[in-house]
């Protein structure tokens, strides 16, 4: 008990307060997820943040608050998984944490290394001949990368500016101005060259019967 | 027309209906609609939540996975022996896995059906007998051929590479209406163009009076003296997601459609077990290679999947052009720190080519510590050989298309820069455990058989052990089919539903007795 309140309540209150700090960086994590639970402990977050720095901010190119927000997003993502899977992920994080000991016989934890050293350890872990050892890191890298590169700023650096698509417009240009229903059917829904593995003749006949519906649908789209 | 949110129900529920359907995915939705159309009172129980299309359309891939998929999309098949670790994706929402598929629609290949109807002696599963069911479902979910104009540049390069090697490519068919080529079908279509069952089939079921209850975990099928009386379970608590308020539904017919991962678990928990429940799981292991080009590819601009090749079908391989959300692709890139960032930054110049194995099986589903099953998979020697052959073919295609570097699906491996390197690697491959594989089509864990000694359900879908319990999902398919399973599952479910409707009075009398 501290100041009359149970310690766990104080920890929860601090966690809640910390979560509001990087709120400006949060994109969708504010959407309340179901179920409402968290997975990562304070210690896990320290380790994960160290890994995130090595993965995404080796040269300090990512803002501090962004990494904090990233941890929240990762926690929200994995928390809908089952208890055994979440426990497995936490165990994998423990393996990453003691990787310097496992790989280099150095009695150091990953978070106590410099960013450069962390990169070296994680690279070695990724290429470990022991598949299960490397999977501990690869699993976390997959989760963290999936979440990190969803950020609009990161997508923009890849040239993925928005959901706007050019190919779709190319298709629209192919749809001719409606002259007659029959002409539209021929133009919009040509006989498919192939529509299934070892397709039989009667399927082609069926697709032709469907053509009017396809034409009407494409009108809606246009 | 009703959808009840189980997480909001605070008092126990008990009711009686003609049919209770467990699961609202491709199989369950079709059965519910057919029996509701036939005038039966139907309740559909779905363990996942209800998320309208407009809601999931706005979700990022990670949010879509944590909201719509089992295990947040992180589920794995535990490898046994020299087998790759395989992620297994399955839906957990109203609409099930159909919300998370790429929308690719194939009929079951004729040679597979020929095998089922001759070697396995399964009545009524010939190509001619199933054709009307396929045709009807294709109409219902608006299956259409992906036009060439919707191909992304990544797919065009795939086709070009294949043309150089003399491998013919064909256009895929998908259940879409007004696709805008967002290239992220398997996280819920952002444009509402994919005709998953939550938008194409379930609305009609609801129109005919079916009630859908989300967040409803069925714990047991209640069986008395060899006859199912209904099901019991609990609604998931709104805060914790754990089972809370109880429900009981009495029904004259129980249809299990929880998918290949959960149907065996429910059958076992209900005592409807045989030696075959949970065995014979096939996964269609899938893999992809990344190809780096000098030109800008921007493969996200176009349909996610639009071409395939069955040129190597006799060798158990289907080649498929594939691209998905950039963050998902980046998640599989090798390297750490600057090295990883460098590869990610090359994303606009990357194309992806994929392949899928028509596998021999070797999977198993078991109950263990949580509600989610333990899935194990032992890849056969033949499939390992096919896998490396597939990696070689995809790599050759990439170099033939003009790729500067090729990233193979091997954990921790550097990109290769020449066909010679590729051939050397495929000639003496590393451990298959190092290969990155995915599975989107778990099938066969409660397989159909002509004899109770060899399977779990009859050709009619009824379980061998209990007369008014039916299974209508991918778990009944007796072997791997080698093609995407959404359309086959729906056609089989339609066939099973029609049988139930035709014999309903018989089942009803049995339950009443």
Residue B374 lies in a domain: yes
Q: Which domain holds residue B494?
A: 2-50+93-101+106-140+196-279+445-512
Specify whether B289 is located in the same domain as B382: yes
DSSP structure class, residue B78: E
Specify whether A195 is located in the same domain as A120: no
Specify whether B371 is located in the same domain as B244: no
Specify whether A141 is located in the same domain as A183: no
Domain endpoint, select from A139, A157, A175: A157
Gap between the Cα atoms of A208 and B353, Å rounded: 31
Q: Is pLDDT larger for residue A36 or for residue A196? A: A36
CA within 13 Å, CB half, A180: 2
Count up the domains in chain B and report the number: 2
**Signed CA dihedral, B211, B217, B223, B226: sign only:** positive
Nearest to A50 by CA among B339, B336, B74: B336
Specify whether A47 is located in the same domain as A139: yes
Average pLDDT, stretch B146-174? 95
B287-307: per-residue pLDDT in tens?
999 999 999 999 999 999 999
Q: Residue B431: closest CA among chain A residues belongs to which residue?
A: A131
Q: Which residues of B touch A139 (CB under 8 A)?
A: 74
Is the pLDDT assigned to residue B116 strictly greater than 80? yes
Residue B87 lies in a domain: no
Closest partner residue to A196 (CB to CB) among B72, B106, B241 is B106
Is the pLDDT assigned to residue B465 strictly greater than 50? yes
Specify whether A190 is located in the same domain as A129: no
Active site residue B441: yes
Domain endpoint, select from A105, A133, A157: A157
A130-144: per-residue pLDDT in tens?
888 899 999 999 999
- B240 with A37: Cβ contact below 8 A: yes
Specify whether A60 is located in the same domain as A121: yes
Q: To which residue do tokens 């009824």 refer?
A: B462
- φ, ψ (nearest 5 deg) of residue A88: -60, -40
Specify whether B110 is located in the same domain as B23: yes
Q: Which residues of B touch A36 (CB under 8 A)?
A: 239-241
pLDDT of residue A132: 84
pLDDT of residue B498: 96
B371-410: per-residue pLDDT in tens?
899 999 999 999 999 999 999 999 999 999 999 999 999 9
Specify whether B174 is located in the same domain as B315: yes
Best of A27, A93, A168 to substitute, by most chain B Cβ atoms within 10 angstroms, is A168
Specify whether B307 is located in the same domain as B339: yes
Specify whether B131 is located in the same domain as B217: yes
Q: Is pLDDT larger for residue B511 or for residue B486? A: B486
pLDDT of residue B361: 86
Closest partner residue to A28 (CB to CB) among B60, B179, B241 is B60
B248-301: per-residue pLDDT in tens?
999 999 999 999 999 999 999 999 888 999 999 999 999 999 999 999 999 999
DSSP structure class, residue B165: T
Is the pLDDT assigned to residue B118 strictly greater than 80? yes
B157 Cα to chain A: minimum distance (Å): 15
Average pLDDT, stretch A155-161? 83
B298-331: per-residue pLDDT in tens?
999 999 999 999 999 999 999 998 998 899 999 8
Residue B66 lies in a domain: no
B10 Cα to chain A: minimum distance (Å): 16
Residue A25 lies in a domain: yes
Closest partner residue to B240 (CB to CB) among A35, A155, A193 is A35
Specify whether B226 is located in the same domain as B255: yes
pLDDT of residue A207: 46
Q: How confident is the model at residue B15 (pLDDT cuts 50, 70, 90)?
A: very high
Average pLDDT, stretch A145-149? 95
Domain endpoint, select from A132, A157, A182: A157
- B180 with A168: Cβ contact below 8 A: yes
Specify whether A189 is located in the same domain as A148: no
Gap between the Cα atoms of B171 and B179, Å rounded: 15
In degrees, rounded to 5, the angle at the alpha carbon of residue B14 between the alpha carbons of residues B8 and B20 is: 90
Residue A170 lies in a domain: yes
The CATH number covering residue B135 comes to 3.50.50.60
Coil, strand, or helix at residue A27?
Answer: coil
Residue A2 lies in a domain: no
Per cent of chain B over pLDDT 70 is 100
Q: Of A164-168, B359-363, B495-499, which range is least confident? A: A164-168
Specify whether A38 is located in the same domain as A104: yes
Specify whether B169 is located in the same domain as B289: yes
Q: Which residues of A touch B135 (CB under 8 A)?
A: 202-203, 206
pLDDT of residue B153: 95
Nearest to A110 by CA among A40, A39, A48, A42: A48
Residue B75 lies in a domain: no
Q: Which residues of A touch B433 (CB under 8 A)?
A: 131
Distance of CA B158 to the CA centre of its chain: 24
| Residue B472 · residue B30 · CB < 8 Å | yes
Q: Of A187-191, B68-72, B469-473, which range is least confident? A: A187-191
B313 touches chain A (CB under 8 A): yes
Q: Which residues of B touch A30 (CB under 8 A)?
A: none
Is the pLDDT assigned to residue A178 strictly greater than 80? no
| Residue A202 · residue B163 · CB < 8 Å | no
Q: Which domain holds residue A185?
A: 166-221
Average pLDDT, stretch B65-86? 94
- A174 with B149: Cβ contact below 8 A: yes
Q: Which residues of B touch A158 (CB under 8 A)?
A: 326, 344-345, 347-348
CA within 13 Å, CB half, B350: 26
Average pLDDT, chain B: 94
Residue A1 lies in a domain: no
- A159 with B296: Cβ contact below 8 A: yes
| Residue B168 · residue B310 · CB < 8 Å | no
Residue B81 lies in a domain: no
Gap between the Cα atoms of B7 and B417, Å rounded: 54
Catalytic residue, candidates B51, B208, B284, B441: B441
Domain endpoint, select from B439, B468, B493: B439
Residue B309 lies in a domain: yes
Domain endpoint, select from B439, B470, B485: B439
The CATH number covering residue B340 comes to 3.30.410
Average pLDDT, chain A: 73
Q: How confident is the model at residue A173 (pLDDT cuts 50, 70, 90)?
A: low
pLDDT of residue B161: 97
Q: Of A24-38, B23-37, B284-298, B385-399, which range is least confident? A: A24-38
Gap between the Cα atoms of B236 and B80, Å rounded: 33
Domain endpoint, select from B439, B462, B477: B439
Residue A113 lies in a domain: yes
Q: Residue A75: closest CA among chain B residues belongs to which residue?
A: B66
Specify whether A87 is located in the same domain as A25: yes
B74 touches chain A (CB under 8 A): yes
Per cent of chain B over pLDDT 90 is 87
Closest partner residue to B178 (CB to CB) among A54, A196, A221 is A221
Specify whether B362 is located in the same domain as B379: yes
Specify whether B393 is located in the same domain as B506: no
Nearest to A160 by CA among A151, A172, A171: A151
Bridge partners (DSSP) listed for residue B234: B217, B246
B414 touches chain A (CB under 8 A): no
pLDDT of residue B274: 87
Average pLDDT, stretch A181-207? 44
Specify whether B163 is located in the same domain as B306: yes
Q: Is pLDDT larger for residue B511 or for residue B81? A: B81
Q: Is the peptide bond before A35 cis (omega within 30 degrees of 0)?
A: yes
Residue B174 lies in a domain: yes
Specify whether B217 is located in the same domain as B287: no
Q: Residue A126: closest CA among chain B residues belongs to which residue?
A: B412
Which alpha helices (H) appear in B39-144, and where do they start and end? Answer: 53-57, 61-68, 110-118, 127-140
Specify whether A186 is located in the same domain as A126: no
pLDDT of residue B501: 96
pLDDT of residue B436: 92
Q: First vs last Cα of chain A: how many Å apart?
A: 66
Residue B57 lies in a domain: no
Gap between the Cα atoms of B70 and B377, Å rounded: 18
Specify whether A151 is located in the same domain as A188: no
Count up the domains in chain A and report the number: 2
Is the pLDDT assigned to residue B12 strictly greater than 80? yes
pLDDT of residue A177: 53
B80 touches chain A (CB under 8 A): no
Specify whether A180 is located in the same domain as A77: no
Which residues fall within 8 angstroms of residue B239, CB to CB, at 6 or more apart? A35, A36
Q: How confident is the model at residue A3 (pLDDT cuts 50, 70, 90)?
A: very low
Is the pLDDT assigned to residue A208 strictly greater than 90? no
Specify whether A212 is located in the same domain as A143: no
Is the pLDDT assigned to residue A180 strictly greater than 90? no
Q: Which residues of A touch B145 (CB under 8 A)?
A: 192-193, 195, 207
For chain B positions 342-371, those within 8 Å of chain A (CB to CB) are: 344-345, 347-348, 368-371
pLDDT of residue A30: 38
B465 Cα to chain A: minimum distance (Å): 31
- B171 with A194: Cβ contact below 8 A: yes
pLDDT of residue A34: 66
């Amino acid at each position: 008990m501290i100041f009359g309140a149970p310690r766990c309540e104080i920890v929860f209150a601090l966690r809640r307060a910390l979560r509001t700090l990087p709120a400006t960086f949060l994109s969708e994590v504010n959407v309340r997820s179901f179920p409402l639970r968290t997975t990562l402990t304070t210690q896990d977050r320290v380790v994960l943040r160290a890994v995130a720095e090595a993965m995404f901010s080796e040269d300090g190119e990512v803002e501090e608050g962004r990494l904090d927000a990233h941890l929240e997003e990762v926690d929200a993502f994995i928390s809908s998984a089952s208890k055994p899977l979440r426990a497995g992920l936490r165990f994998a994080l423990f393996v990453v944490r003691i990787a310097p000991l496992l790989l280099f016989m150095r009695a150091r934890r990953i978070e106590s290394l410099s960013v450069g050293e962390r990169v070296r350890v994680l690279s070695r872990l990724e290429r470990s001949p022991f598949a299960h050892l490397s999977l501990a890191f690869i699993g976390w890298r997959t989760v963290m990368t999936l979440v990190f590169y969803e950020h609009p700023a990161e997508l923009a650096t890849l040239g993925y500016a928005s959901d706007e698509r050019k190919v779709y417009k190319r298709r629209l240009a192919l749809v001719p101005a409606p002259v007659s229903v029959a002409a539209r059917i021929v133009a919009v829904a040509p006989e498919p060259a192939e529509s299934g593995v070892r397709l039989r003749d009667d399927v082609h006949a069926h697709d032709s019967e469907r053509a009017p519906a396809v034409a009407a649908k494409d009108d809606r789209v246009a | 027309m009703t959808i009840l949110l189980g997480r909001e129900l605070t008092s126990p529920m008990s009711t009686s209906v003609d049919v209770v359907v467990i699961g609202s995915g491709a199989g369950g939705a079709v059965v519910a609609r057919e029996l509701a159309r036939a005038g039966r009172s139907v309740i559909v129980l779905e363990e996942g939540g209800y998320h309208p299309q407009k809601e999931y359309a706005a979700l990022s891939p990670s949010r879509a996975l944590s909201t719509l998929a089992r295990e947040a999309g992180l589920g794995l098949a535990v490898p046994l022996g020299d087998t790759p670790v395989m992620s297994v994706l399955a839906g957990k929402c109203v609409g099930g896995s159909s919300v998370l598929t790429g929308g690719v629609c194939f009929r079951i290949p004729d040679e597979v059906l020929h095998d089922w109807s001759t070697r396995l002696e399964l009545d009524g599963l010939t190509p001619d007998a199933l054709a009307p069911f396929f045709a009807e479902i294709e109409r219902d979910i608006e299956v259409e051929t992906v036009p060439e104009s919707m191909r992304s540049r990544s797919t065009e390069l795939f086709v070009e590479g294949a043309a150089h090697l003399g491998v013919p490519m064909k256009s895929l068919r998908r259940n879409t209406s007004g696709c805008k080529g967002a290239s992220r079908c398997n996280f819920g279509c952002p444009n509402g163009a994919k005709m998953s069952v939550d938008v194409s089939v379930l609305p009609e079921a609801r129109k005919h009076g079916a009630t859908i209850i989300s967040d409803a975990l069925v714990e047991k099928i209640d069986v008395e003296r060899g006859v199912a009386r209904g099901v019991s379970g609990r609604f998931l608590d709104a805060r914790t997601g754990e089972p809370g308020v109880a429900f009981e539904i009495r029904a004259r017919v129980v249809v299990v459609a929880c998918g290949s991962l959960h149907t065996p678990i429910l059958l076992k928990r209900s005592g409807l077990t045989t030696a075959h429940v949970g065995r014979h799981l096939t996964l269609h292991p899938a893999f992809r290679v990344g190809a780096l080009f000098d030109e800008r590819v921007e493969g996200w601009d176009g349909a996610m999947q639009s071409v395939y090749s069955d040129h190597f079908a006799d060798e158990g391989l289907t080649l498929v052009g594939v691209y998905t959300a950039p963050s998902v692709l980046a998640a599989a890139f090798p390297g750490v720190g600057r090295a990883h960032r460098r590869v990610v930054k090359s994303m606009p110049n990357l194309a992806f080519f994929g392949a899928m194995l028509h596998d021999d099986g070797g999977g198993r589903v078991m109950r263990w510590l949580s509600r989610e099953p333990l899935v194990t998979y032992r890849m056969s020697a033949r499939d390992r050989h096919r896998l490396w052959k597939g990696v070689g073919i995809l790599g050759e295609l990439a170099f033939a298309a003009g790729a500067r570097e090729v990233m193979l699906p091997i954990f921790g491996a550097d990109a290769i820069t020449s066909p010679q390197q590729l051939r050397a690697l495929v000639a003496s491959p590393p451990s298959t455990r190092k290969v990155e594989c995915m599975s989107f089509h778990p099938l066969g864990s409660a397989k159909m058989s002509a004899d109770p000694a060899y399977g779990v359900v009859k050709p009619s879908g009824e379980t061998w052990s209990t007369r008014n319990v039916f299974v209508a999902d991918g778990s009944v398919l007796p072997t791997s089919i080698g093609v995407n399973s959404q359309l086959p599952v729906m056609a089989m479910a339609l066939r099973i539903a029609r049988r139930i409707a035709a014999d309903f009075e018989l089942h009803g009398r049995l339950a009443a007795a």
